Amino acid sequence: MKENAYLKRRRVGINFNEAQQAEICLWAPNAESVEAALASGSLVSLSRSADGYWKATTDLLQPNDQYKFKLNGKDGLPDPASLAQPNGVHEASMAVDLQAFEWTDTEWQNPALNDYIIYEIHTGTFSAKGTFDGIAQHLDHLIELGVNAIEIMPVAQFPGDRNWGYDGVFPFAVQQSYGGAAKLQELVNTCHDKGIAVILDVVYNHVGPEGNYFAEFGPYFTDKYHTPWGQAVNFDDADCDGVRDYFIENVLMWFRDFHIDALRMDAVHAIKDLSAQHILQAIRLQVDALMEITGRKHYLIVECDLNDPRFLDAPEKNGFGMDSQWIDEFHHALRITAGEPGTGYYADFQGIRHLEKAYRDAYVYDGQYSEHRKKNFGRSADGQPGSKFIVFSQNHDQVGNRMLGERSSTLYSFEMQKVLAGAVMISPYLPMLFMGEEYGETNPFLYFVSHTDAELNKLVREGRKAEFAAFHAEGEAPDPDVLETFQQSKLQWDLLDKPEHQVMFNYYKELIALRKAHPALSNGDRSRITAMSYPDKNTLVVKRWEPRQQIVCILNFSKEKQAVPAEDSIHNWELLLCSADEKWGGPCTDDGACQSVNKLIIQPESILIYTRKDA
């Protein structure tokens, strides 16, 4: 395809033109003949073009009609660019007119990335309904909380109706059990109406195993590389151009046709590409071109564990130009500081000293030797603003990849949970919450699937058991493919009616409101932060400032009262928050701290946030 040819409308799969004719386009470079087999029994022959695409325009196919593709006269297969799989991953695709939805968000402005307060959601377990409509029912709760961006875990069609979403096999098709394409468009439209941005999690590093017919159509995969989850996607081997176009098309579709505000691309460290222009660079440039046309702002966020700022550097600096990335290292250092055992990948982290470094440097490992990786690892992120990094105390991976899926609410005391939340909100990075943490959800978030292949389910069970041999190994791993595992992972919204959970919710509201109200907390300026740890006290002092304001945060992760140096009289400071205050369910009836001989006394497992009155 020519550069920019696909900016204004989707080109692959089935799409409808202004005359409501179906325009069919399939990439199948090795096929000798291609026909679209319609549910009516009709066959539409496609003509081959020089670049391996097969095309036709027909009146025989209408929106909601089902079809398959017959290659070389063989049995029909679902469309790799299908927009809907109403009967599952093995059956016929359904034509969808993406332009039929009537948008009302013309006035919507995507907030500046630095202002994002992110809330991660799994559609199936977030609500009783387990659908996009179920998410919409709880948006007012998120607005009250202070969230202005939701991140939805992958919705690409997967086998069955229960899955985290990372086993998707139709990247363009919206999961039918969630509501399909029109309901996702409706949810985004509603979010924008309520002032909430929408981030969508997408997977470009692999394709799930069941219902994966890609290899029948063309060289979508390569044996040059391998991933932990299956064959590597062919981004740089022979005949890769059609594959690269396919995934660029997918990015543009979410932004252009679904009005998604940002994409979070899963595990991009597993995307192998030695092309002169890395696929992420190509995506960056095409998204920039799309924004020029639409006038809308979109962000590209990645999950990457390489500690390599090249992913964040601008393309003119030979970087990939990503707008932000998840950093697990902040989470790992925070959890070890809070008492998590140093097993598995936590073994590399030294608790509060590394947490101090995470506040200052984003990457904990930026060139040092990693015992877990058995090599020197990482590179400095100096010069990258705070908005380039997303931090959290919980997320789907860090909860769900525990054997028993325990949340912080069952691992830590009520007081420590408040410290963890505060640690995230005072950082110079973008904060992210995992659904339910704001009220102390106690149900686990377990790993679940609903493959229709019994042998595949067996392999998943065995794989999970092996994964936990040396990490989070307590107990027996729940069976991922039974309905109960999924049901146990649903949020219990009625917990909000109970006093302790309501206190936690109000505490989170206060933290978020403080971050928004005080520029020294929200500015994302990494040159205006210091962090000093006291390892013998397991206590940390974080200072952030603006020209007219200074914020001082003291975090005590120990189970004892601790004394830290006070720079000047506490009477010159204004207390903004004490997590140990009785109104937050804490043990204190005063401000939770006192001063003695230039020392500040802080309660066990608590956080204090002050601002300088005379700053």
- Which position has the token pair 């086993």? 167
Q: How confident is the model at residue 569 (pLDDT cuts 50, 70, 90)?
A: low
Predicted local confidence at residue 594, as pLDDT: 61
Whole-angstrom distance, CA of residue 112 vs CA of residue 386:
13
- Active-site annotation holds for 313: no
Q: Is the pLDDT of residue 1 over 50?
A: no
The 10s digit of each residue's pLDDT in 515-528 is 999 999 999 999 99
Rounded average pLDDT over 150-171: 97
CB-CB contact of 385 with 526 (8 Å):
yes
Predicted local confidence at residue 460, as pLDDT: 78
Whole-angstrom distance, CA of residue 366 vs CA of residue 356:
14
> What ranges in 223-351 are assigned the alpha helix state H?
241-257, 279-294, 328-337
82 and 122 within one domain: no
Predicted local confidence at residue 533, as pLDDT: 97
Catalytic one of 35, 151, 210, 266: 266
**CATH code at 396?**
3.20.20.80
Q: Which residues contact 276 (CB under 8 A, 6 or more apart)?
A: none
Helix (H) or strand (E) holding 63: none
Asked whether residue 218 is domain-assigned, the answer is yes
Q: Which residues contact 141 (CB under 8 A, 6 or more apart)?
A: 496
Among residues 98, 131, 166, the one where a domain terminates is 98
3-state SS of the chain: helix, strand, coil percent to 5? 30, 25, 45
What single DSSP character describes residue 110? P
The 10s digit of each residue's pLDDT in 9-53 is 999 999 999 999 999 999 999 999 999 999 999 999 999 998 999
366 and 253 within one domain: yes
Which one-letter amino acid corresponds to residue 558?
Answer: S
Q: How confident is the model at residue 73 (pLDDT cuts 50, 70, 90)?
A: very high
Rounded average pLDDT over 560-579: 85
Detail the DSSP E strand segments found in 49-87: 53-58, 66-71
Catalytic one of 35, 120, 151, 303: 303
- Which position has the token pair 């200074």? 550
Top-confidence residue, 345 or 101: 101
- Which position has the token pair 């097969």? 54
Top-confidence residue, 473 or 557: 557
Q: How confident is the model at residue 4 (pLDDT cuts 50, 70, 90)?
A: low
454 and 375 within one domain: yes
**How many structural domains does the chain have?**
3
**CATH code at 76?**
2.60.40.10
* Of 572, 476, 264, the residue nearest 390 (C-alpha): 264
Angle, helices 279-294 vs 241-257, to 10°: value is: 40
562 and 601 within one domain: yes
- Active-site annotation holds for 266: yes
Whole-angstrom distance, CA of residue 472 vs CA of residue 405:
10
Lowest-confidence segment of 78-92, 153-167, 200-214, 463-477 by average pLDDT: 463-477
Whole-angstrom distance, CA of residue 159 vs CA of residue 451:
5
CB-CB contact of 299 with 317 (8 Å):
no
The 10s digit of each residue's pLDDT in 482-505 is 999 999 999 999 999 999 999 999
Predicted local confidence at residue 311, as pLDDT: 98
Lowest-confidence segment of 126-140, 309-323, 366-380, 463-477 by average pLDDT: 463-477
How many CB atoms lie under 10 A from the CB of residue 194? 13
Q: Is the pLDDT of residue 242 over 90?
A: yes
HSE of 37, CA atoms in CB hemisphere, 13 A: 16
Whole-angstrom distance, CA of residue 345 vs CA of residue 334:
13
> Which string of DSSP letters, residue by residue, matches 433-492?
EETTGGGT--S--------S-HHHHHHHHHHHHHHTSSSS-SS-PPPTTSHHHHHHTS--
Whole-angstrom distance, CA of residue 402 vs CA of residue 397:
8
Handedness of CA 33, 37, 43, 48 (dihedral sign): negative
227 and 89 within one domain: no
Q: Is the pLDDT of residue 214 over 50?
A: yes
Among residues 98, 132, 160, the one where a domain terminates is 98
447 and 348 within one domain: yes
Please report, in range form, the residues annotated as the binding site. Answer: 264-269, 328-332, 396-401
CB-CB contact of 352 with 540 (8 Å):
yes
Whole-angstrom distance, CA of residue 377 vs CA of residue 383:
19
Q: Is the pLDDT of residue 306 over 50?
A: yes
Lowest-confidence segment of 78-87, 152-161, 352-361, 604-613 by average pLDDT: 604-613
The 10s digit of each residue's pLDDT in 392-430 is 999 999 999 899 999 999 999 999 999 999 999 999 999
Q: Is the pLDDT of residue 187 over 70?
A: yes
Strand-pair category, 599-602 with 593-596: antiparallel
Write out the residue range of the structural domain in which residue 432 sits: 118-471
Asked whether residue 139 is domain-assigned, the answer is yes
Q: How confident is the model at residue 476 (pLDDT cuts 50, 70, 90)?
A: confident
**CATH code at 589?**
2.60.40.1180
Rounded average pLDDT over 587-595: 67
Please report, in range form, the residues annotated as the binding site for substrate. Answer: 264-269, 328-332, 396-401
186 and 82 within one domain: no
Whole-angstrom distance, CA of residue 534 vs CA of residue 564:
8
CA-based R_g, the chain, Å: 25
Q: What is the mean pLDDT of the chain?
A: 94
How many CB atoms lie under 10 A from the CB of residue 498? 13
Q: Is the pLDDT of residue 593 over 70?
A: no
326 and 202 within one domain: yes
Predicted local confidence at residue 361, as pLDDT: 97
